[in-house]
Structure 1
Amino acid sequence: MKWYLLLLQAGLSQAGLRFGCSTVSIQRLDPLVEPGNIPSAHVHQIVGGNAFNATMEGDIGEKGTCTTCAYTEDFSNYWTAALYFKHENGSYKRVPIYPNAQLGTEGRDAPEIKGGMTIYYTQKDFGGNGDKHITAFQPGFRMTVGSPTVTTLDGTTPGLRYTCLQDILTRGSETPDFPKKPCPAGIMAIFHFPSCWDGKNLDSPDHQSHMYNTVKGAFQEAGPCPASHPVRMPQLAYETMWNTTGFNNMWPKNGEQPFVWSYSDSKGYGTHADYVFGWKGDSLQRAMNDSCMFHKCGSPGVQGVLKTQTVADMNKCSVQNTVMEDTEGWLSELPGQKMPMKFTA
């Protein structure tokens, strides 16, 4: 069965969140891997609370004043690398993001979510909530998944995949590398985080060892947690929709796929994502304890366990850039990635 049919039937399931977050910032900051560095090594696109900065510490949920996420109690930050198109002449242009399907519930005249991501917190899969207690992330918790240093297929992480979109509802046909041909509706990048916690550490030196990855991908239920990491947490996942369609008639004549992550990865094997927990109080635990699914957990016009805001209010929230450099338009090089360039007339 295609994934879009599962999404449409998800109202029959239990205990899962699916919501959109507008873009809060696009700049070279990475408070997990490079705390305090202004700028960080490569460009990121970030969603969530406006407490995002180069040195994030403590309870982020108590520091923000607005959030770009649909749920008003979620001041977490979620980010990935930005995607760029590389022209045959060696120049680069950032690929825009567009919102996922079935997120806006305010009617036809409502504004569109400004780029961003789709965020998931599930417990089992789209067919049920399982029989395990799910412990919500705690204030101060953070983690990453994947690594920009991965350059081979063997080094890729299960659950970090791409889908060549035939339309906005395309699901399935996931690959560990970039699509090899133009995609009619763009490229969806998918990021599944591990959900087994050691129960002790809110972070670790590599931002991954406090978690254990039993992810199978494709929104299947993750495998059992080992004794070393016995605490089952929500299965966090992101989907980012990259609108590559404006570049479909610019593909190189030699047929090579032209997209690169902002850290110069043209294969896609090094795709990665970062997460800093920032839900206020016990709001995420309340949701995980509830029997709601997706919009029924709360949306405009639907009273649920979580409070929501309008898309207009989501889009208003932003973070002022602390790194002043061009990330838009045609660039001679990727920001932060110094390399010799050759241009053709």
Structure 2
Amino acid sequence: MPSPLRQLKQYLLSGVSHVIPFVACGGILIAVAVGFAPMRPGIGPDFSQAPTLKLLMTIGEAAFALVVPVLSGYIAFGMADRPGLVPGFVGGAIAQTVGAGFLGGIAAGLLAGWVVQALKRLPLPRNLRPIMPILIIPVVASTLVGALLLLVLGPPIKGLMLWLSEVLHHLGSGHRLWLGLLLGSMIAFDMGGPVNKAAFFFGVAMIKEGDVSVMGACAAAICIPPLGLGLATLLRPKHWSEQERESGAAALAMGAIGITEGAIPFAAADPLRVIPTIMAGSSVGAVIALLWGVGDHAPHGGLIVLPVIDHRVAYLLAIATGTLLVALAMNLLKGWKRPVTPEPP
């Protein structure tokens, strides 16, 4: 691997290693809350009579709300050490605010790291150097990164969301194959980010219009990325690091209850191979679900919505096919290289 790409991977892994506990914490709490809450068709989990489960759901959502800022902050930390933390966290929070999601967080972290590295190289008087890392760099870098995200990246993302909504409504009128391919790709593309949410809320809107098949396709596609990546670590455990195997176990649990964010640690560490692979798997699952008439009466995905699924066998087949495709393709793309050597104790 060329040196710049190797460095980039190290930066991304810095963010991933710190964000995994947040993903696992939020995923487990949300899984427990959703798994034990009663499902109401057309509404989803009903917490009105379950205050304890609602409390767990709120705490889990709070943990998930920190995923993008933490990812961004520690990518910047890997690039520029502690001076990168503040602009990285601020950039990640702004990326989340403008709807840039997981990919926006990666961009914010890299941008913050580069800005801080550039500021460190500025020739400054000796008496200003002590306050550079605690005052000048955080303020200047956060301002630059925040301004770029708010003024440059935000408007195109909003325009993209409007365009995607129009495309989905057009395809929903009769082009079921293409609709399935697009829905699956969008669901997997940013794993809970704005593109994912555009597809998901389109499915929710269609439930209200009496068409539960769109949500059925989304429900199948939602769980395929984490399930497929988790299965990949089980099929060839010696070719994955201990940290990746731990992420795989968490991803399997989150995939089962419809939390696509379980795939984020893998995608952040190796986006060029992981993102296209999970997009293909989710697209296949969504197409199978649409063509076989799967319907989902609840705005959620994964295995926990089986009680409100029409054509459950087809639904499980769609999930299994997409999951197996992701697992086999991911292991193939990683190459038949030597197994990962165990980390020293």
TM-score range for the pair, normalised by the shorter chain length? under 0.3
By relative contact order (CA 8 Å, sep 6+), the higher-ranking structure is 1
TM-score by length of 1: 0.26
TM-score by length of 2: 0.26
Which of the pair is proportionally richer in helix? 2
